[in-house]
Structure 1
């Protein structure tokens, strides 16, 4: 398998030439009926409407050429089959497989990486048994009452993905079940959650692959003490999701234990036991399996070599066109669904921790832009916040809208002839067209330049299955872009420096605490900062 730097791909020059005169979305009849019908890509229950991107057939053909030159489908297929792709040539690195797709490759008689998929099956069997015991009331609290709440204690990938999915799927929760999350080491985060639940009927799901994550271990101790203060035995309430052999892999301390594996990165782990335990508790085992089915459908569709028939690949290459060729620094993900309120936050980690890299796979400095800044909020709230900049600001921000034809609860009201859901979709479509076409006026304050590229991901309804598909669309888009930029999307060394320095600062704080106990007086913040300056 050959890895090639982005700026040496032959198609790069052709695309650079095309970028000098990109398609003008503000021209007369730019969004013709033919264009709107042609520039649609469909799979796994989603339609990608991309006529409002600044592309034409010549650009798409050149992007297809780039896909082929960079071997993106070959690399993606190799990833799914267990190739070691988490590496930097010639330098110490994690040297691991990348197999989050194996967690959902469960619906074929011939999984692509049998060993990893069998490990996922074993954990799913354990989860099903555990959930059945809860449902049959074989597992109850000390008063014989069923558990009705689960709190997931984790941070980063052990929080963001599962939290986003759990919030998005609340309408599909089993009767009486709820999920809460504690991530921040800020004690107020835990205090707020703990005061709002009945701890006697609550399960605590502690998630840490290494079993040594400082924020998670601190919060675990805080929660354990809260249980003990209520006269509850923590080992009858706490669940562990961790790596085999980690300090948390201790059955005496937990009601149940599930494993996560080092070939699944934290930000890609929502479809593993990292998300499975909490989502299974909330939705039931079948609900979690629906998420996996949707993700697996997209994983299969993502091996289609045609950019026009592969949503994840097309989104990846449109992103590269906007970022590397047209020079736009950021990307806004704008779900027109309140249920997806935390989905952009999950994508921020998944995308920026994956592709926020400045070193190629050969260990040399990149000579081109890699991952964009990704951000977003749900519409229509965002329209009354930052859309002013999207329409008339000096920064052009490519936008990715996400919408659904039907709302989740299917409860709505008709006002002035249309329902709320119709108003929501009308706003989505209007924003997409307005960004693309703009509007000219004699009053400069009321002029809109247009040519703001965007696309729409549209599905029938946000369900466990479509959410699994949506998750995988973005996960695979991120992988394709990383392969095209020839960077390692599967490590996160940039996270480590802050952790190391925080550890040193904490050591000084411990020393200062001891001195304070002796002197009966505190050291100032300034003194701590001076010591930190010496550390750095």
Structure 2
């Protein structure tokens, strides 16, 4: 029997549990009434981002206890080990150095004694050269037509990062360029994309570290078949396909010119890979200078995370607040609410980042974790959610902490629209915190001519308890540098939580199991003579699929 971790038996943990019991009998609206400076005391600025965390179920004692927990679990030492290239991904014996990809300090970063910065700089120079050739219309297909269309094929971090960051920076898009992102192995998506394109003007980017990811490889092979049916030949692949992969042999055998293969490294996890050559589609969409500004914004957040004291450190504070709710208030989910249309995909990005990183049940010392190690991350753009799922946040019995995000200025700003957007954002955080008492609801009904019984019943339904926590993140505008800082903020938040929970935030064995089983099932589906030896449910499902799709 695997032993359980003892984190929840430590002094810092027990202190927080006691504070949680006390806090349940208090209300945020009373704290704001008693302390006019509460907002100022619980607001911090860094890297172009303002974090107002005053609308949380916290006081000075709670924050002190949370910082004590971080110190007890050696968060600062674990952080330094990651930045220094130590083997922090112990199950795969790998360093974790996505931060090196945005290292502008000039200092070396070593893995196994070798400085990786020269390789990183060389790859970034290659990305810049390729991007500039593309934007200068120097890239031409096999018939001499200029390449103007890009299809980026990947999955997971190789898809989400480039797609969502490109969407978020739509005001920076370069004209006369289209970048299409495909991940789903459902052939409908790829068909819809390719059917609108001229193969003579199209570039296919295949992003797969191994060059063997099932969905990515299948989609790339289908794109290759499409290219041939349109008139291209094997010798023409070199002008229309590039790869971002560490498997140079497989890519060249596919027909990709070796000069069009961009490297990947084992010390970059998929969900952190947008900072590597996986980010090439972003550079093609917004220009390399803007992509580099993203890297610089992330570097600024790295510096803040490394140097700011715990009590002034944005990623640390956001991480500790998350632990406070997950482990001491039984929150099972956390909602992200960007009040900016172009940032609408950000919750999906953080969903993978957070849930793939910390959705673990075994700690670094090989003990079973006996407490929750991560919430369900979800969300949608404001103000749409206010007319649907906000109802549950306001009046449901389940505690759902929220992160609200708003740029103070937006491109092509329409004053009335933007003021309404801001008022909704701020009004929602106020309503979640303040709620509305039964007495206030009862008094509001006085003028409607209702008897007391009816007023009482209706006021009961209208009452909102409030005391629902939220963070508000403001930024002057969501330019590339600020977006880079925002992404790095959430990366480091996830790291801190994993460091405290004691889990390895950088492996993903659950994802790997799904890949293995998927390949086994695929073999049985395609090989119709094979004996079905799975469980009865899986066997039945495969049989029905075979019957509906007979071999031709």
Deviation at 1:210, TM superposition (A): 1.0
- Aligned residue number for residue 123 of structure 1: 123
Q: Does 1:257 align with 2:273?
A: no
Measure how far apart 1:421 and its partner are: 1.0
Q: Separation in 2 of the partners of 1:79 and 1:25?
A: 37
Match of 1:534 in 2: none
Q: Distance in 1 between matches of 2:504 and 2:241?
A: 35
Residue of structure 1 equivalent to 2:412: 410
User: Could you tell me which residue of structure 2 aligns to residue 196 of structure 1?
Assistant: 196
Deviations 1:302-330 (A, max 9, x none): 01352331111110001011111122111
Q: Which residue of 2 aligns with 1:95?
A: 93
Report the secondary structure of 1:420's partner residue: helix
Per the alignment, do residues 273 and 526 of structure 1 end up closer, same or farther by CA in structure 2, a change over 3 Å counting?
closer
Q: 1:274 aligns with which of 263, 271, 278?
A: 278
> After TM superposition, where is structure 1 displaced by more than 6 Å over at least 4 residues in a row?
none
Following superposition of structure 1 onto structure 2, how do residues 313-392 of structure 1 map, counting pairs within 5 Å?
313-392=316-395
Count of residue pairs the alignment pairs up: 508
| 2:210 alignment counterpart | 210
- For the pair shown, which has the larger CA radius of gyration, 1 or 2? 2
CA distance in 1, matches of 2:87, 2:34: 44
Please state if 1:486 is matched with 2:489.
no
1:23-102 correspondence to structure 2 within 5 Å: 23-27=26-30, 29-30=32-33, 32-87=35-90, 93-102=91-100
8 Å CA contact 1:153–1:183 kept in 2: the answer is: yes
CA–CA separation in structure 2 for the residues paired with 1:526 and 1:317:
45
More displaced 10-residue stretch of structure 1: 59-68 or 473-482: 59-68
In 2, distance between residues paired with 1:68 and 1:358?
Answer: 22
How far 1:111 sits from its partner (Å)? 4.0
- Asked if 2 retains the 8 angstrom alpha-carbon contact of 1:147 and 1:202, the reply is yes
- C-alpha distance in structure 1 between counterparts of 2:343 and 2:529, whole Å: 44
Matching residue of 2:425: 428
**Conserved? CA contact 1:316–1:477, under 8 Å:** yes
Larger mean Cα displacement after TM superposition, 266-275 or 247-256: 247-256
Aligned equivalent of 2:462, options 436, 446, 455: 446
Structure 2, unaligned stretches of length 5 or more? 443-458, 532-538, 548-552
1:399 aligns with 2:402: yes
**Aligned twin of 2:223:** 223
**8 Å Cα contact 1:210-1:246 kept in structure 2:** no
Question: Which residue does 2:523 correspond to in 1?
Answer: 507
Q: CA deviation at 1:250?
A: 5.1
2:204·2:242 contact (CA, 8 Å) conserved in 1? yes
The alpha-carbon deviation at position 528 of structure 1 amounts to 5.7
Give secondary structure in 1 for the equivalent of 2:473: strand
Hey, what's the Cα distance between the residues in 2 that align with 1:530 and 1:147? 41
In the TM superposition, residue 28 of structure 1 has moved relative to its aligned partner by 6.7
Residues 451 and 316 of structure 1: is their aligned pair in 2 closer, same or farther, counting only changes over 3 Å?
Answer: same
Please give the alpha-carbon distance, in whole angstroms, between the structure 1 residues aligned to 2:509 and 2:34: 44
* Aligned-partner Cα distance in 1 for 2:220–2:83: 34
Contact 2:525 2:542 survives alignment (8 Å): no
- Normalised TM-score (structure 1): 0.90
Distance in 1 (alpha carbons) for counterparts of 2:311 and 2:131: 42
- TM superposition shift of 1:378: 0.8
| Range with greater deviation from structure 2 (182-191 or 21-30) | 21-30
Q: Which residue of 2 aligns with 1:19?
A: 20
Taking a change above 3 Å as real, the CA distance of residues 97 and 513 of structure 1, as seen in their structure-2 partners, is same
Matched, 1:300 2:303: yes
Q: Is the CA contact (8 Å cut-off) linking 2:348 and 2:378 kept in structure 1?
A: yes
Give the secondary structure class of the aligned counterpart of 1:20: helix
SS state at 1:212 partner? coil
Q: CA deviation at 1:174?
A: 1.5
**Structure 1 residues 367 and 193: CA distance shift in structure 2, 3 A:** same
1:10 is matched with which residue?
11
Q: Which has the higher helix share?
A: 2
| Structure 1 residue 246, shift from structure 2 partner | 5.6
Select between 442-451 and 462-471 the one with higher mean Cα deviation.
Answer: 442-451
Cα-to-partner distance string for 1:41-86 (whole Å, 9 max, x where unaligned): 1100001001100001111111111111111121112101101010
Further displaced range: 53-62 or 227-236: 227-236
Task: Write out per-residue CA displacement over residues 122-165 of structure 1, whole angstroms, 9 at most, x where no aligned residue.
Answer: 11011122223223433222444432222110001111111110
Is the 2:108–2:116 contact (alpha carbons within 8 Å) kept by the matching residues of 1?
no
**How many angstroms apart in 1 are the aligned matches of 2:305 and 2:153?**
33
Partner of 2:447: none
Q: Contact (CA 8 Å) 2:102, 2:298: kept in 1 or not?
A: yes
Distance 1:506 1:388, change over 3 A: same
Rounded Cα–Cα distance in structure 1 between residues aligned with 2:384 and 2:332 = 23
Kept in 1: contact 2:237–2:255 (CA 8 A):
no
What is the distance in 1 between the residues matched to 2:252 and 2:341? 37
Moved more, 16-25 or 309-318: 16-25
- 1:345, 1:351 → 2: CA distance? 10
Q: 1:525 to 1:79 in 2, by over 3 A?
A: closer
Pairing partner for 1:235 from 212, 235, 238: 238
The 10-residue stretch of structure 1 (291-300 or 13-22) with the greater mean CA deviation from structure 2: 13-22
Alignment CA distance shift 1:33-1:194 (3 Å)? farther
Q: Using the alignment, how far apart are the partners of 1:160 and 1:491 within structure 2?
A: 18
Q: Which residue of 2 aligns with 1:518?
A: none
1:466 to 482, 486, 489: 482
Match of 2:514 among 498, 503, 508: 498
Q: How far did 1:503 drift?
A: 1.7
Match of 1:476 among 469, 492, 509: 492
Q: Is the 8 A contact 1:5 1:485 kept in 2?
A: no
**CA spacing shift, 1:148–1:529, aligned 2, 3 Å:** closer
Q: 1:118 to 1:526 in 2, by over 3 A?
A: closer
> Would the alpha carbon gap of residues 246 and 25 (structure 1) be closer, same or farther in structure 2, given more than 3 Å must change?
farther
Report the CA distance between 1:529 and its aligned residue: 8.2
Contact 1:103 1:116 in 2 (8 A): no
On the 8 A contact 1:158/1:274 being kept in 2, the answer is yes
